[in-house]
Amino acid sequence: MLFTKLAEYLQKLEGTASRNEMTVILAELFKESSPDDARLIAYLSAGRLGPAYNSPDFGIADMSMLKALGSESKTIFNKLGDLGLVIEQIKSKTQNSKIQRNSNIKIQNVYDRLWKIAEVSGIGSQERKQELIRKLLDELDPVSAKYVVKIILGKLRTGFSDMTVLDSLSWMMAGDKSLRKNIENIYNVRADLGEVAMLVKDSKTLNFKNSNIGPEIGTPVLMAKAERASNSAEIWERNGECAVEYKLDGLRIQAHISKSQILNSNIQINSKLQNSNIKLFSRGLENVGHMYPDICAGLAEQVKEDCIVEGEMIAVDKNGKVLAFNKTMNRKRKYGIEDKILEIPMKIFLFDVLWLKNKSLINLPNNKRWECLEKLVKKGEIVELMPRIIAKSTNEIDEFFQKSLKEGMEGIVAKRLDAPYTPGNRDFSWIKMKTTLDSVDVVVMGYSVGEGKRTGFGIGEFLVGVYEPKSDKFLTVSKVGSGATDAEWVKLRKELEKLKVDKKPERYDVAKQYEQNFWVRPQLVLEIVANEISVSPGHTSGYGLRFPRLISWREKKPEDATTVSEIKSMYTSIRMAGEN
């Protein structure tokens, strides 16, 4: 496919706010593509060169792009405020027959050249990037050039989510969304939209129901999620005899380990370790392995076979006792890692294995996967198995729960013994129980300027929402203006500045009374706790949080935030507990 064809479709996508229209437009685009092009289209239409966990940063800011676009670009930019529109206008004035002839550049060609731009590094890299950008833009038509600039700057805003892409693939195959769930099951097992698009496009049949596509080492599996319970009776009613594990307040990690490719098993703890054979994926699908070389070293030493395992990574003191969540978060950094390793050591407590020795285990029952995990891990200082019992009564669940609290844990997770691993899904095969009013993971939607002391911060409060999977939208649940230190307000403003968009995203459902000074794209997930959950006609979720306070930043995708149904369930549980 020619890149100009992709650019035409991107222009159509930018011109509509309807999710259904976006679905049909994307379906038409995928229908015209080859399987290989479908993979690239999935990445480029999202403004990336790969899946979220493996897409390079171009390292080009507006000022550097202005230099690449030429002397007249600054004047036009001051009027338009959009460098994509700037290059489109410049090229529309100067377009000639030579440029028109050269507009038959294929998507693969543009994609390869964008990778080369991203890979340029070292002394003089900005000048070399600018030269490569100029050469590429010279060969493109105005509309294609506009979207290349937007992709490089990370400012392509088509307004659709991963779920819309999955809908469009179903529409391409069946003319409706009837295959969406089957295609989503593939995505849940291999969270790479490009690969999923290629697999679906290459399919010779419409039957995805019995897909034999399983996990693949190096590609994250969307993590299973737990439902909530307020007491052991609820757990017992649903699961009966079950496994019960500690719930740690750390960072959930999915580790992909290629033991067979690690030539030197005696890996030294060094921040320069970029071991491509050990990947640590967060819930937000970020590969954070380079930030935790001590964990990578422990896994290389203590795990016996190639595998995909899951666990909770947490900071500990010199005696191995778990520390507060803020200590764990203090370890996440790009620089000064060696010093922090000595100051704040880490451990990882494993609780599941999804793939082992080239074989998927996700369909095995939980107790069988646990047996595999026990045999997989050697004793050592970094890697341990999550503390776990088989509870044969509510009393045993309660006793283990109290024990977990005494040892500084958040609570427990009860797991049905015969349940398979359910990638990307939340169901009652896993049930979590905590001691206090459960926190809520919310998506920051926008913010308003501050008053008084916070005028200097540029932010006084922010609007947060929860996720509605059925509509793929975010619905408001609260405004938050407390619980953060001065330093956290400054940090929050800096992060939100990076996410700021010109208008309210189409995926936001917000009542007029909660309109914000500034809107941000759905990316930042925060943990909030409140004194009470109440019915709220003003908030589009139908519920509100009274006296909400910021607790922590979460390593999650926005679609993994608390859902509307969870908020409703929490409200109902708290109300019933109060009546009792």
The residue whose two tokens read 């038409």 is 28
The encoded tokens of residue 348 equal 């990882």
Cα dist from 142 to 87, 94, 228, 386, whole Å:
7, 9, 53, 57
- Residue pair 187/162 in contact by the 8 Å Cβ criterion: yes
Strands 359-360, 346-356: pairing kind: antiparallel
Is 247 catalytic? The answer is yes
What is the rounded CA–CA span in Å between residue 357 and residue 307? 6
Of 91, 150, 247, 340, the active-site residue reads 247
| Region of 332 on the Ramachandran plot (φ > 0 left; ψ -120 to 50 alpha; else beta) | beta
H helices present in 242-292, as ranges: none
Is the separation of the CB atoms in 187 and 222 below 8 Å? yes
Angle between helices 162-174 and 180-189 (to 10 degrees): 130
**Beta bridge mates, 251:** 313
Q: How far apart are CA 536 and CA 186, in angstroms?
A: 37
Query: What span, in angstroms and rounded, lies between the C-alpha atoms of 333 and 311?
Result: 20
- Residue 406 to residue 222: CA distance in whole angstroms: 32
- Cβ proximity of 476 and 463 under 8 Å: yes
Do 294 and 275 form a contact (C-beta atoms < 8 A)? no
Cα–Cα dist 233/534, whole Å: 25
Give strand pairing partners of 432: 228, 413
Residue 147 and residue 84 in contact, taking contact as beta carbons nearer than 8 Å: yes
The contacts of residue 566 (CB under 8 Å, 6+ apart) are 228, 426, 466
Place of tokens 């941000």: 520
Q: 250: helix, coil or strand?
A: coil
Taking each helix axis as running N to C, give the angle between helix 3-14 and helix 107-119, from 0 to 180 degrees, rounded to the nearest 10: 80
Please name the residues in contact with 107: beta carbons below 8 A apart, sequence gap of 6 or more.
1, 2, 3, 6, 37, 40, 41, 44
- Catalytic machinery residues: 247
